[in-house]
Structures are given as C-alpha cells and as structure tokens.
C-alpha cells in the first residue's frame, strides 16, 4: 500500500532563517506531488505541484520554492522565512491522470506545523 | 470567485444523530470531481468520499454519503449515526478537468459531536 511521510512535524524558526520540509511517498511510482498550506482556521491553498522529477509548477507567488530531486521526494524550501510563512504545510500525492481515473484521490501526509518568530 | 463554498462555519450534533454539511461549487467544466476530507485536531487530512460529475448515483462510504445535486451544484456530506470521534473539521474540495488533480478547497465546517 502507498504511504506518504513528511518531516519535521513541527518547527519554530526565526525570521530570516532558511526552511526545508521534506516529503516522501512509498508504494507508488510517477506520482503527482503537491504542497499545500493551511492558515489557521482556514482551508487549504495549493502552493506547488509536480508531475515529474524536476518539474515544478507554482500556483501563487511567494517566498517559498519547491524541488523534486527524485521521483518520490518533494521538498519545500525557503532561503529567508517571513512571519507570514507561518502555517500548517501538507504534502500530498495522487496518481497521474490515466493511471486510475476513477476518483484519483489526493492523499495527504501528516502535515508540518511551522511557526516563524 | 470562490470555487467551493461551505456556509456553515460550525455545527453541533448529538451523538447517534445524522448531520448534513453543505457544500456548493462553481465550475464550467463538464468533468470534475468532488471530495470530502476530515481534519481532526491532529491536523492530518483524511479522505472520506468522492463523487464524480458523471456518476449518476450518490456516493456512499460506510456512514458517509454524498448528496449530489448536479443542477444545483451542491455536494452535501451526510454523516449518519454520529460518533464522538466524528468531531473534526470537514472540508469539501473540487478537482476540475482531467489533466491534473489540483484541488480547490472550501473554508471548512467544524463539527462537534455531543454525548
């Protein structure tokens, strides 16, 4: 069965420091990968998605970047964190269109709580 | 414009009763999918149920059912026989088209089940 893991689960970082959140998927190949952010008490906002190694699409302009160095690894980064980067970050995966169309649910990792101070 | 609207910020329900969570959506695509996720206080997003735009029957998964009214663009979630463990935030989400699986989320509804 497929599993998704992301880490660290929580972190507190000072303004201006770098960030690296990692996500890995097991039990599948060629997945679509996503990074979402959830502000307190609100819905999820898609930040980045990737359909393959090195292929990153950004949904909103921001202080963050994403990379996909391996098929099942997705990394969210920042060179200098801002206070507004605080939030709950969720990595997710899905099958590619055409692999198993019915549903093609997006499955989420456990999430990472980031507090920028 | 909002693609997914959840008008109920919070709801209380008595244990063992049913509760309906509202969701309306806006899309011009003919092919789309509607999802419901549960987010307990731990933060994880748990997939509950899916309804495709071409599905003629309402989706059901155990105690969860989706009341899909295509003409009204609504996809309400019904939780039957509520349990204390159902207390959580519930999100409605939509995927448009067939080329990718990006989801648009609603603002969520907090459900509190009372004993």
Q: Which of A88, A95, A105 sits opposite B43 (nearest CB)?
A: A88
User: Taking all residues of chain A, what is their mean pLDDT, rounded to a whole number?
Assistant: 89
Q: How far is CA B1 from CA B26, B27, B92, B96, in A?
A: 8, 10, 16, 15
- Measured between its terminal Cα atoms, the distance across chain B in Å is 39
pLDDT at A28: 86
> Per-residue pLDDT tens for A60-75?
777 899 999 999 999 9
From chain A, pick out residues whose CB is under 8 angstroms from the CB of B44. 108-111
Q: Are A7 and A114 in contact (CB under 8 A)?
A: no
| Residue B59 near residue B34, CB atoms below 8 Å | no
Tokens 């987010």 locate to B39
d(CA B103, CA B7): 19
In this prediction, residue B101 carries a pLDDT of 66
Instruction: Show residues of chain B in contact with A108, CB under 8 Å.
Output: 37, 44-47
What is the predicted pLDDT for the residue at A39? 79
Give the model's pLDDT for residue B99.
64
| Residue B77 in tokens | 């979630």
The residue of chain B with its CA nearest to that of A111 is: B44
Alpha carbon of B48 to those of A60, B39, B51, B59, B75: distances in Å? 27, 10, 11, 10, 13
> Which residues, given as ranges, of chain A have pLDDT below 70?
41, 97-104
- The pair of structure tokens assigned to A36 is 């979402």
Nearest residue, CB atoms, A49 vs list B45, B98, B100: B100
Residues 6+ apart with CB under 8 A from A85: A19, A63, A64, A78, A114, A116
Chain B touched by A32 (CB under 8 Å): yes
pLDDT at B42 over 80: yes
A window 56-75, beta carbon within 8 A of B: 59
CB pairs under 8 A between A and B: 64
In this structure, the strands spanning A112-116 and A87-94 are: antiparallel
pLDDT tens sequence across B45-69: 999 999 989 888 999 999 999 999 9
């Amino acid at each position: 069965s497929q599993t998704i893991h992301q880490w660290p689960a929580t972190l507190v970082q000072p303004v201006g420091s770098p960030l690296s959140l990692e996500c890995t998927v097991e039990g599948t190949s060629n997945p679509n990968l996503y990074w979402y952010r959830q502000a307190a008490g609100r819905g999820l906002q898609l930040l980045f998605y990737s359909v393959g190694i090195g292929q990153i699409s950004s949904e909103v302009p921001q202080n963050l970047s994403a990379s996909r160095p391996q098929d099942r690894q997705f990394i969210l980064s920042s060179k200098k964190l801002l206070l507004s980067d605080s939030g709950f970050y969720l990595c997710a995966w899905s099958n590619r269109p055409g692999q198993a169309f019915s549903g093609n649910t997006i499955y989420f990792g456990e999430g990472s709580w980031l507090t920028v101070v | 414009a909002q693609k997914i609207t959840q008008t109920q910020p919070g709801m209380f329900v008595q244990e063992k009763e049913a509760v309906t969570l509202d969701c309306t959506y806006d899309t011009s695509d003919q092919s789309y999918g509607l999802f419901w996720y549960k987010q307990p206080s731990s933060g994880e997003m748990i997939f509950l149920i899916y309804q495709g735009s071409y599905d003629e029957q309402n989706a059901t998964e155990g105690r969860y059912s989706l009341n899909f009214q295509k003409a009204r663009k609504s996809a309400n979630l019904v939780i039957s026989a509520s349990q204390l463990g159902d207390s959580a935030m519930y999100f409605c989400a939509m995927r448009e088209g067939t080329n990718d699986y990006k989801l648009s989320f609603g603002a969520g509804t907090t459900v509190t089940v009372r004993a």
